[in-house]
Structure 1
C-alpha cells in the first residue's frame, strides 16, 4: 500500500560512498525522503551513520544499474511505497584508465555499461511515472570528462560524452512534458574513486609499457597535483547537486567550480579543438 508524503521523494543511485553518499545525506537534511540505492546494501553502514549524525532519514534499497530486473524491481517498490518519484539522481559510475590500445572490449563494455547504459536504464524506467505526473526532475552526474576528452580516459570519457549527448537531446522533450533535466559536471573530486581506478589499471605488455609508461607517469603526476590544489570534496559537489535539485528554475548544466567552468569555456571558444589538444598533450611530458 502506497503512502503520499508531502515532501519530495528522491531516488539516488550509487550512494555507498563519495558524491552519492553526500548527496543523499544533504537531501535528507532538507526534508527530502531519500531512497538511497546501491548494488550491495552491505556497504550502507557509512551512509546510515552519516545520515543519523546529520539528523536525516534515509531508505536504503538495492539497485544495480547494470541489471534490468534489479532496476525494475526497485523502482516498482518505490512507487508502491511512496506513490511517486519527484527527483532522480543518476550518480552510480565507474572509472577506467587506459588508452584505446590498452583497453579490452570487456573493459570498454563494462565502463560503458555502468556509466552510460546504467543511466539510460534507470532514467527509462523512472521517466514514465514522471511523465504521467507531468512533474519531476532528473539530475545526472556527468564529468568535465563528458565535455573534454582526457588522455588515458578513452573509455570513461566516451561514456560520459554519451551521457551528455543523451541528456542534451532528451531535455527539450522532457521539458515540454513537465520534467527538468540537469547535468552536473565535476572536475577533480577527492574520493576513493581515483585510487580505485588507478589500482585497476591493466598491466601493459613490455612493448606498450615502453611507449605509454612515461606518458602515463607524467600525466598522473600532473593530475594528482591538480587534485591536491583544486580538488573538491564530495560535500562541495553535493551542494551543487542540492541547488539543481531544489531550485525553482534549474539550469541544464552545472560545472561545480570556477576552475572547471573556465576550462570548459576554453573549449567552447575554440571550434578547431587545437587548444585543448595542446593543453593535454603538454601534460604527457617531453
Structure 2
C-alpha cells in the first residue's frame, strides 16, 4: 500500500502505512439520546436513524450502511471526541481505556462526519476528508465511570482510530443474524460483510458503571502526564488528578490547556469532585462552551 493522503481543512497529510500519522483531531459532540454518530457525510444527510441491530444489547455500537452510532452512558450534553487516522491496525491500547470496540465503516464519498444530534451550525462537529475506501473504526472509551447514567454530567472522552481495510473486506462473524425479510417484513439490503463488529475490551455494565481500577495514583507522575503531547492522556490525567484532590492543577488545565477538549474534561473532573469554588472561577473567567459546561455542572450539583 502506498501513501495515504488525509485532508482536514486545507492541510494535507501524507501517511506511510503502519506509522503514527498525525496529531489527533478533536471535536465536541453534543450527545442526544445516549449517542453520537460517525459516518459518511452523504449518507448521514439522508439517514432515517434506524439500525439493523439493537445497539444497547450489542455492546454499544449501532450499525447502518456507512454509519456507526456510538452509544454513551450520558443521556445528553457535550463530550470530547478525538480522531486518529492510521495506515495499519494500531496496537491494542493501554488499560486506561475501559472499553474498546470495532466496526467496519465504508466511506464511499470520501467525507467523514462526526457529530451528535444536537450539534448546530455554529458547532458542527468534525468534517474530515479521507480516501474513499473501507475502514475499520475502533472506538476507545475512557473514564466512563465518571458519568451518572442517563444524566448530563461526567468527564469521559472517546478516541476514534480509523485504518483502511484490505479488499475484499474481512470481518469477524457477527453475533447477531441479519434480519430476515420474511419474518420482519420489507427487503434487506445489509450484508454481514458490511455490518460485523467486535468487542476487543468489554465494559462490565454501562447502566451501573464500575470504578476504574487501572488509573495512575502517583501524584508526581500525574502532574508529568498532564503535560503529555497526547490530549487523550491529558484528559485521563485531569480525571486522575481530581481523584487525588489536586484540584488547583485540574483548574489550571480547565483554564489554560491548549486543547478545548482537555479543558472540557478538566471541568467535568472538577464537578466529579464537587469542587464548586473552582467551577465558579472557571465559569467566571471563561466564555463559550467551557463556561457553559462549567455552569451546567454547577446546576447539576445544585440539584443534588
TM-score normalized with structure 1 length = 0.25
Structure in which a larger fraction of residues adopt strand: 2
Q: Greater helix percent: which structure?
A: 1
TM-score by length of 2: 0.24
